[in-house]
Chain A
Amino acid sequence: MDFLLTLLRAMPGAVGQGLIWGIMAIGVYITFRILDVADLTVDGSLATGGAVCVLLTVNGCNIWVAVLAAFLAGMLAGLVTGLFHTACGIPAILSGILTQLALYSINLRIMGFGTDAGTKASLAVSVNDFDLLVSSRYIRDVALNNPILLLLVLTAVLIAVLYWFFGTELGSSLRATGSNPSMARAQGINTKFNIVLGLMVSNGLVALSGALLAQYQGSSTIDMGRGAIVIGLAAVIIGEVILGKVFRNFALKLLSAVIGAIIYYVVIQFVLRLGLDTNDLKLLTALVVAVFLAIPYWKGRYFTKSVRKGGQANA
């Protein structure tokens, strides 16, 4: 009974975190599923979003402006990765790793801006002193300042905007770029531009998520994005496995990534209450993602119905 009660008490926190990471998962969905690029920039750009947002906030900037600045900083990170990939011909994964590594130094500089040392590994922002959008302090309050409320609205707005965008001429050409680059080029689509654009939008969202996360936990830290890509992938995949059959519409697919993130954090709370060490979480996450990524491959390889000999896919 005690176990259930503590678990229940942890639920609002899990949902709040899930919603914040859900925005990040939407960013990952854009690169991983729509553009068909595994973008590892996000580990860095998440922390960049947090760092930029907190730095501006503690220096007296309006919180909404700070969040917007974080979004733009993330887009800039995506631009760099995109240019590494398209203009320099570096493989996408490596481009992301390079940017992510570079961002580690940059994030230290951002958080250390104005200090004597010039670098700082964390930057605190207290909800006592600043008008933050979301804070874990109010996560169990039944009030308007409960972060879940704002996060729900924000998520809905983001999904609506993205749904509109990917339905436009430009958005459609972006989907075509991910679906079949040679077809896209033959139809006059500038695939390089689209890949850069997609990476920018994706990392903008990831940084936005980082900005919210930093407010939520009351500080931005240098390692807040470590393994973010794996959590994002986990959210996308969990969402697909559980809701993929039901959610066919594009907006619902984005929503399923968010729900995947929430489920991820609920499950995490559950295993933590069961006594799992926090330090082992990343191992568990990596294993879960590996298995879910492998399932479609295994299905195709070992569980297909045997075809008549000499039979071919219908031409």
Chain B
Amino acid sequence: MLELKSVYKTFNPGTVNEKRALNGVSLTLNDGDFVTVIGGNGAGKSTLLNAVAGVWPVDAGSISIGGIDVTRLPEHKRASYIGRVFQDPMMGTAATMQIEENLALAARRGKNRTLRPGIGRGERERYRELLQILGLGLEDRLTVKVGLLSGGQRQALTLLMATLNRPKLLLLDEHTAALDPKTAAKVLETTEKIVQRDHLTTLMITHNMRDAIAHGNRLIMMYEGRIVLDISGEAKQKLTVEDLLEQFTKVSGSDEADDKMLLS
């Protein structure tokens, strides 16, 4: 479903801030794979997701989604294949627009925006049903401006928007990191529910090792712009946090997994 072939990306080349963020990443996701991505700060996790989403062009390598080469497609064109949820709850929704307007915008992802009404007849009923899945009572607040919602509510809404049209690929960039533990657990639970229901091919970054182990059928660890660990199937199910820490120590060459976030 997703195929990356030796993708390279360097930020600020030729300056003192030069940062090789992706160092020849190759990765193939099968249809229905739910892959969790872990790694320390600056390992290239978010860069990987942004490369797939097309936030900027990559330096070298190729990216294809569902057999279509998207390497040269701009962000908004790739969006027809991709659903995204960001770390920052403010980033995934338009605060000054209503809940139903946000959903209607997402429902038209990958389609031509015409001069037909922004929200068609019968759409509201569908949104109401979809919002019920979240269990946040948003189904009765369709015309409320999204800016009035809490971070957790906005993140749940973004998740719904990202999965509205059954994307070929779902990208979750630490989408629960900015939420309080209880809300984070709830959003993650909803994520699991939707991914299972729609059989979505998913790439989920997380700082939480336990979450990385508990969710998905495959786990990859990144370090210095490379994939250093790729575990799936039964081996993934047997994985423990201790195993991961040990692996991390091995690849990073340091005695301790000093990355505090990694331990959280």
Q: Which of A132-140, A179-187, A301-309 is the interface stretch?
A: A179-187
Question: Given B80, B92, B150, which contacts A188 in the complex, CB threshold below 8 Å?
Answer: B80
**B154 vs chain A, min Cβ distance (A):** 10
Say if the beta carbon of B262 comes within 8 Å of chain A: no
Name the distance in Å between A189's Cβ and chain B's nearest Cβ. Answer: 6
Q: Pick from B113, B152, B178, B183: contact of A189, CB below 8 A.
A: B113
Q: Is the CB–CB distance between A169 and B118 below 8 Å?
A: yes
A139-192 CB contacts (< 8 Å) to partner B: 165, 167-173, 175-176, 179-180, 182-191
Contact pick for A179, options B53, B76, B95, B178, CB 8 Å: B95
Interface residues on chain A, number (Cβ under 8 Å) = 25
CB of B109 within 8 A of CB of A315, answer no
Is B224 part of the binding interface, using a Cβ–Cβ cutoff of 8 Å?
no
With A172-B101, A187-B109: A315-B151 Cβ-Cβ less than 8 Å: yes
Interface hits, B186-214 → A, CB 8 Å: none
B228: interface (CB < 8 Å) = no
Tell me if B94 and A315 are in contact (CB < 8 A): no
Per DSSP, chain B at the interface is loop
Q: Which residues of B contact A179 (CB under 8 A)?
A: 94-97
Give the interface SS of chain A, mostly helix, strand, loop or mixed.
helix
Q: Decide: B105 and A189 in contact? CB cutoff 8 A.
A: yes
Measured in the bound complex, the distance between the Cα atoms of B97 and A30 in whole Å is 15
Mask for B81-106, Cβ within 8 A of A = 1, else 0? 01010100111111111000100111
Most buried by B among A169, A189, A190: A169
Produce 1/0 per residue, A271-315, CB < 8 A to B: 000000000000000000000000000000000000000000111
The answer to whether A185 and B76 touch across the interface, beta carbons within 8 angstroms, is yes
Chain A contacts with B in 230-254, Cβ cutoff 8 A? none
B57 at the interface (CB under 8 A from A): no
Binding site for A on B (CB under 8 A): 53, 74-77, 79-80, 82, 84, 86, 89-97, 101, 104-106, 108-111, 113-118, 150-152, 161-162, 178-180, 183
Instruction: Please name 19 pairs of A and B residues whose Cβ atoms are closer than 8 Å in the assembled complex, sorted by A.
Output: A167-B118, A168-B116, A169-B108, A169-B114, A170-B113, A170-B114, A171-B118, A172-B97, A173-B105, A175-B101, A179-B94, A182-B91, A184-B76, A186-B92, A187-B105, A188-B110, A190-B74, A314-B150, A314-B151
